[in-house]
């Protein structure tokens, strides 16, 4: 494994498992790689089988341990497969989301509004409900949710997305109150404008450059920069950090509030 494994406090003891949703690309994939470096067995979930298996291959090539669980958070069969895993989850990272089509609220189909809320917020609740009992019993657990600075700034044409990500703030703070005395922490990472395959496909080069320039650091972020923060919050070293909603945004929100 890479030398990062030798950093005290970041490495996990043998036998622990991490679950990462939306792990086929972008922030999710980068997070899965970062957690594998910490010595965790990583279960990568997502809808795209080839992407997941490629990510699993990269982890194994580094000497890590991983497996893919292909499925859609909207499919009850996926939840049954998740519950039937032969491993208990010690670190849960909920990164998956299903953005609605860009458009003003009255033009977005109801089904798409439901899809966003279900994949982000309700799925987050279900994942916590599934993972928390084992974490409490073990006396250790890390719950990390991936939100967005849209919670603070709003998002024109993506009202449902911003609303769902805002809901994660209440979920994280309330869940932290329930679980933290059991050695289980619960935190929210809120990325700003991150250079991913999804943002490249959705936003023109000109707009992407303008959004990156709005950040205090003057550029877009990378998936690896977000994953590094998630990895810290997932580590044993972050035992006194809970209920936090942390922007990882390059300061894109500064001066705008």
Is 134 inside a domain boundary?
yes
Is 80 inside a domain boundary?
yes
Give how many domains the chain has, as a whole number.
Answer: 1
> In angstroms, what CA-CA distances link 62 with 2, 13, 195, 202, 231?
7, 18, 24, 32, 17
CATH of the domain at 122: 3.40.50.720
The active-site residue out of 140, 145, 161, 232 is: 161
pTM for the full predicted model: 0.92
Mean of pLDDT values over 83-99: 94
Is 253 inside a domain boundary?
no
pLDDT digits (tens, 9 = 90+) for 223-252: 999 999 999 999 999 999 999 999 999 998
Is 254 inside a domain boundary?
no
pLDDT digits (tens, 9 = 90+) for 210-231: 777 788 899 999 999 999 999 9
Is 40 inside a domain boundary?
yes
Is 151 inside a domain boundary?
yes
Q: Is the pLDDT of residue 5 over 50?
A: no
Residue 161 a catalytic site member: yes
Residue 117's H or E segment, with its range, is helix 110-117
Q: Say how far apart CA 245 and CA 192 lie, in whole Å.
A: 13
Is 212 inside a domain boundary?
yes
Is 66 inside a domain boundary?
yes
pLDDT digits (tens, 9 = 90+) for 199-210: 666 666 776 777
State which residues form the domain around 238.
3-248
Q: Say how far apart CA 242 and CA 168 lie, in whole Å.
A: 14
Where is pLDDT greater, at 155 or 141?
A: 141
Mean of pLDDT values over 146-169: 88
Report the pLDDT value the prediction gives residue 205, as an integer from 0 to 100. Answer: 72
Q: Is the pLDDT of residue 3 over 70?
A: no
Query: Which region holds residue 34: left if phi is over 0, alpha if psi is between -120 and 50, else beta?
Result: alpha
3-state secondary structure at position 239: coil
């Amino acid at each position: 494994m890479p030398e990062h494994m030798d950093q005290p406090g970041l490495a996990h003891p043998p036998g622990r498992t991490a679950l990462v949703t939306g792990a086929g690309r972008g922030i999710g994939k980068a997070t899965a790689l970062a957690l594998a470096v910490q010595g965790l067995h990583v279960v990568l979930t997502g809808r795209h089988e080839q992407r997941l298996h490629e990510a699993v291959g990269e982890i194994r090539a580094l000497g890590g341990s991983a497996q893919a669980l292909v499925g859609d958070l909207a499919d009850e069969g996926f939840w049954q497969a998740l519950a039937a895993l032969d491993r208990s989850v010690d670190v849960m990272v909920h990164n998956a989301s299903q953005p609605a089509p860009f458009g003003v609220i009255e033009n977005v189909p109801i089904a798409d509004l439901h899809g966003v809320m279900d994949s982000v917020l309700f799925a987050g609740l279900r994942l916590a409900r599934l993972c928390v009992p084992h974490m409490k019993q073990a006396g250790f657990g890390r719950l990390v949710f991936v939100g967005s600075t849209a919670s603070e700034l709003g998002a024109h044409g993506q009202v449902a997305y911003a609303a769902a990500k805002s809901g994660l703030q209440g979920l994280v703070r309330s869940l932290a109150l329930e679980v933290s005395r059991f050695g289980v922490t619960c935190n929210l990472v809120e990325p700003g404008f991150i250079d991913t395959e999804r943002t490249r496909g959705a936003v023109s080069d000109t707009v992407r450059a303008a959004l990156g320039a709005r950040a205090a650091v003057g550029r877009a972020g990378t998936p690896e920069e977000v994953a590094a923060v998630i990895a810290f919050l997932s580590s044993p070293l972050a035992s006194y950090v809970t209920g936090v909603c942390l922007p990882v945004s390059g300061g894109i929100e500064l001066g705008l509030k």
